């Protein structure tokens, strides 16, 4: 989604843009969405020099294997490589350098420090040969990327924090949608509805959300939990719901495109992640005027800290998480509403599309000036 948003934004600034990715399950959908605003899409393959050890002996053949792509890349003034994780992007960065095209990178998660060896050290130096800067989507993502790769930067590069933007028109409080969604999901207007939107993966700790809610359910008779997502831990989530006899109090829903409708139905949102590059779901919930509870970890902390729109709790402290939700549930309606308003005000001020795009436009101009 960040690639789509950035492509659309750059196109609106009258830059010529192309999006290239390896093949993935949603490629056709991505191509159709890009086509709507006139951005070409290519599904391309580059040898996995960094991310698959068996390719290490063939890296010298990459230039020959990708001669056609190399010629096409020569038309570019700048390549932007998206790093979703610590080494997911290195192959593309290396190929960009091989094609003699200046590059920038964006870090979308909080990276651990990269451990390398002699082979990779030489390739890393090559990959960052024409690197001129980039951004992390949070301070934590920026610092993690620098800890992993700054030693390979060819010179002093500008590497900023550029937060993900939130569409505060789409993600906004909507009373009519609130009532409709609650009716659709079989929830009462008097229920205190807690939501947790996120992948059912170990990073997001969905089982801990169920266990936290178990404590809340014992103390708040009208509390209900909506869990929205899918992933490898789904079976564990469902099993824990059964173990704790919460089937009547917890609904597990698949992801839906209009997730803002789910947020509209909530009184609170909780995410107990181990780490976040940027707490996107938390920020979207806050933009909808929903008070939040999140772990004091990279990414999430930057979104909630100082907002007045929710609570940060230590990672792994389920008692504190449950206590925070109970505090929200026991607020009077006016105090709860004001907490949600403060949450939204913070997101609009710091992360609205207008604010973030103005910052990004200035930085792209700086990067492109360097390539001239």
Cα 358 to Cα 372: distance, rounded to the nearest angstrom? 22
Q: What is the mean pLDDT of residues 46-71?
A: 61
Q: What is the mean pLDDT of residues 245-258?
A: 95
Range list of β-strands (E), 218-286? 223-228, 250-253, 268-271
Q: Which of 28-42, 96-110, 143-157, 210-224 has the highest mean pLDDT?
A: 210-224
Domain boundaries, the chain: 45-165+353-371, 175-348
For position 71, what pLDDT does the model report? 74
For the domain made up of 175-348, give the CATH fold.
Answer: Rossmann fold (3.40.50)
Say if residue 113's pLDDT is above 80: no
Listing DSSP states for 50-114 in one string gives TT-GGGGGGGGGHHHHTHHHHHHHTT-S-EEEEESBTTBTHHHHHHHHHTT--EEEEE-S-PPPP
Q: What is the mean pLDDT of residues 130-155?
A: 91
What percentage of residues in the chain have a pLDDT greater than 70? 92
For position 68, what pLDDT does the model report? 64
For position 115, what pLDDT does the model report? 59
What tens digit of pLDDT does each residue of 344-355 get?
A: 999 999 999 999
Least trusted range by pLDDT, from 62-66, 144-148, 158-162, 241-245:
62-66
Per CATH, the number for 45-165+353-371 is: 3.40.50.2000
Question: Smallest Cα–Cα separation from 109: which of 297, 313, 289, 312?
Answer: 297
Cα 2 to Cα 10: distance, rounded to the nearest angstrom? 12
Cβ(92)–Cβ(55) below 8 Å: no
Which residues, in sequence order, are bridge partners of residue 18? none
Cβ(121)–Cβ(153) below 8 Å: no
Cα 364 to Cα 12: distance, rounded to the nearest angstrom? 13
Say if residue 40's pLDDT is above 70: yes
Q: Do domains 45-165+353-371 and 175-348 have the same CATH topology?
A: yes
What tens digit of pLDDT does each residue of 290-331 get?
A: 999 999 998 899 999 999 999 999 999 999 999 999 999 999
Q: How far is CA 132 from the centre of its chain?
A: 24
């Amino acid at each position: 989604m960040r690639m789509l948003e950035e492509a659309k934004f750059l196109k609106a600034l009258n830059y010529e843009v192309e999006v290239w990715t390896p093949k993935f399950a949603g490629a056709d959908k991505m191509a159709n969405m890009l086509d709507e605003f006139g951005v070409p899409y290519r599904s391309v393959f580059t040898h996995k020099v960094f991310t698959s050890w068996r390719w290490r002996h063939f890296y010298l053949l990459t230039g020959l294997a990708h001669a056609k792509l190399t010629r096409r890349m020569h038309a570019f003034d700048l390549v932007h490589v998206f790093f979703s994780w610590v080494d997911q992007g290195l192959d593309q960065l290396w190929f960009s350098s091989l094609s003699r095209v200046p590059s920038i990178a964006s870090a979308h998660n909080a990276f651990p420090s990269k451990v390398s060896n002699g082979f990779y050290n030489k390739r890393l130096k090559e990959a960052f040969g024409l690197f001129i800067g980039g951004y992390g989507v949070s301070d934590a993502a920026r610092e993690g990327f620098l800890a992993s790769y700054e030693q390979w930067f060819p010179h002093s590069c500008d590497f900023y924090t550029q937060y993900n933007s939130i569409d505060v028109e789409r993600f906004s409080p909507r009373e009519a949608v609130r009532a409709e969604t609650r009716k659709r999901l079989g929830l009462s207007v008097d229920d205190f509805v807690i939501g947790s939107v996120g992948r059912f993966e170990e990073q997001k700790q969905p089982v801990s959300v169920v266990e936290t809610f178990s404590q809340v359910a014992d103390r708040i008779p009208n509390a209900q939990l909506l869990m929205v997502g899918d992933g490898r831990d789904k079976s564990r989530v469902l099993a824990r719901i059964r173990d704790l006899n919460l089937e009547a109090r917890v609904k597990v829903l698949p992801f839906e495109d209009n997730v803002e409708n789910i947020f509209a139905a909530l009184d609170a949102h909780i995410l107990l992640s181990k780490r976040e590059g940027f707490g996107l779901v938390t920020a979207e919930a806050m933009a909808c005027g929903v008070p939040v509870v999140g772990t004091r970890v990279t990414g999430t902390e930057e979104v909630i800290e100082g907002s007045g729109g929710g609570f940060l709790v230590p990672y792994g402290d389920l008692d504190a998480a449950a206590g925070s939700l109970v505090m929200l549930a026991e607020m009077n309606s006016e105090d709860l509403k004001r907490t949600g308003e403060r949450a939204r005000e913070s997101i609009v001020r710091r992360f609205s599309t207008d604010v973030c795009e103005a910052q990004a436009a200035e930085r792209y101009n700086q990067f492109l000036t360097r390539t001239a």
